[in-house]
Amino acid sequence: MGRLIAVTSGKGGAGKSSVSVHLATALAKLSERVLIVDLDAGMRCLDIMLGVSDRLLFDLSDVLDKNKSVQEAVISLGNLDFLPAPLKGKINPTEFSRFISEVLEDYDFIILDFPAGTVDELYTALPRYCEALVVCNADAVSLRDAAIMGADLSELNFMSVRLILNRVSFKNMQKGITANIDEVIDTSGIRLMGVVPQSMDIYMSCCSGQPLGKRTRAAKAFERIAKRVMGYDIPLMPYKKI
Ligand SMILES: Nc1ncnc2c1ncn2[C@@H]1O[C@H](COP(=O)(O)OP(=O)(O)OP(=O)(O)O)[C@@H](O)[C@H]1O
Ligand SMILES: [Mg+2]
């Protein structure tokens, strides 16, 4: 059975979609069979970040309405299958729950890119073995949001709740502009799973739909996170802890 990972944050713009795309791509490169699902109905964006906007034919609503099978609706990118969010409307929690149980057998990982917002009925439709990754930045506003989100998710019996710290600038940490790694862990109250640098490569990749260059710091960061998610004993960061 595959592992189900919900990528979340209460506030918008923390980097959920970017983390979802680059984590899914890194897992696929490590030969895992991955399905990435855009759940941001009405505001979808993963097609742009994955560079497949001109290939869109169907979306999650076609699968939930039983017009298409998952295999017919996904866009295949090698080991990575992508299912776009509906263009409009709401995702029905009951149908969504059925869809999740159907696809679990076919993939090693299912990455769910949630829209910003508080925990709602779509979260409660998730099975108990779902794992959550809360994405946050090191500023005070984002950290408070992560702490609230982490507490709300823990009440839902998620199998695990872990933090991805995104847009990290060690210069800003050193200058005391943002929290440092220890402060991030203390304030959010969530165990840290991975650290992603502030990176022009990530920004350009999201804008252009081109994958991260293999040798970039960002690609290496996501490879480390993917391996940690897979259960390998990889240190959090290759560089000095602040
Ligand atoms: N580590 C990073 N370095 C540089 N830019 C980043 C990084 N992470 C995300 N971004 C950029 O920040 C913007 C917001 O990221 P993204 O869309 O992933 O956030 P989100 O949390 O999914 O937003 P929303 O809540 O609207 O769904 C994008 O332009 C993305 O390219
Ligand atoms: Mg998003």
What digits encode the pLDDT tens for the residues 124-134?
999 999 999 99
When pLDDT is cut at 50, 70 and 90, the band that residue 240 belongs to is low
**Domain regions of the chain by residue span:** 3-230
Ligand 1 midpoint to CA 229 (Å): 21
Q: What is the pLDDT of residues 9-53, one digit of tens each?
A: 989 999 999 999 999 999 999 999 999 999 999 999 999 999 999
Ligand 1 midpoint to CA 205 (Å): 11
When pLDDT is cut at 50, 70 and 90, the band that residue 157 belongs to is confident
Supply the pLDDT for residue 57. 95
The Cα 241–Cα 9 span in angstroms is 24
Ligand 2 midpoint to CA 237 (Å): 25
The CATH architecture to which 3-230 belongs is: 3-Layer(aba) Sandwich (3.40)
Please report where in the chains the tokens 């990749």 appear, as a residue: 205
Q: Which of 242, 214, 202 lies closest to 49, judged by CA?
A: 202
Taking each helix axis from N to C end, the angle separating 217-230 and 200-208, rounded to the nearest 10 degrees, works out to 80
Q: Which of 4, 46, 238, 22 lies closest to 135, judged by CA?
A: 22
Give, using CA atoms, the residue closest to atom 5 of ligand 1.
203
The Cα 3–Cα 34 span in angstroms is 10
63 lines ligand 1 (CB under 6 A): no
Question: How many residues in total does the chain contain?
Answer: 242
Question: Model's pTM, two decimal places?
Answer: 0.97
Q: How many CA atoms lie within 13 A of 5 on its CB side?
A: 29
Supply the pLDDT for residue 239. 59
Mean of the per-residue pLDDT values for the chain? 95
Mean per-residue pLDDT, 197-209: 97
For 38, 48, 52, the CA distances from 59, given in Å and listed in that order, are 9, 14, 13
Protein residues within 5 Å, CB atom, of ion ligand 2: 16-17
Strand (E) or helix (H) holding 161: strand 160-168
9 lines ligand 1 (CB under 6 A): yes
238 lines ligand 1 (CB under 6 A): no
Q: How far apart are the first and last CA of the chain?
A: 38
Ligand 1 atom with least separation from CA of 198: 3
Q: What is the pLDDT of residues 99-108, one digit of tens each?
A: 999 999 999 9
Q: Which of 228, 221, 175 lies closest to 198, judged by CA?
A: 221
Q: Considering all CA atoms of the chain, what is the largest pairwise distance in Å, rounded to the nearest integer?
A: 55
Tokens representing 55 are 């290939």
Ligand 1 atom with least separation from CA of 116: 25
Q: Do 113 and 143 meet the contact criterion of CB atoms below 8 Å apart? A: no
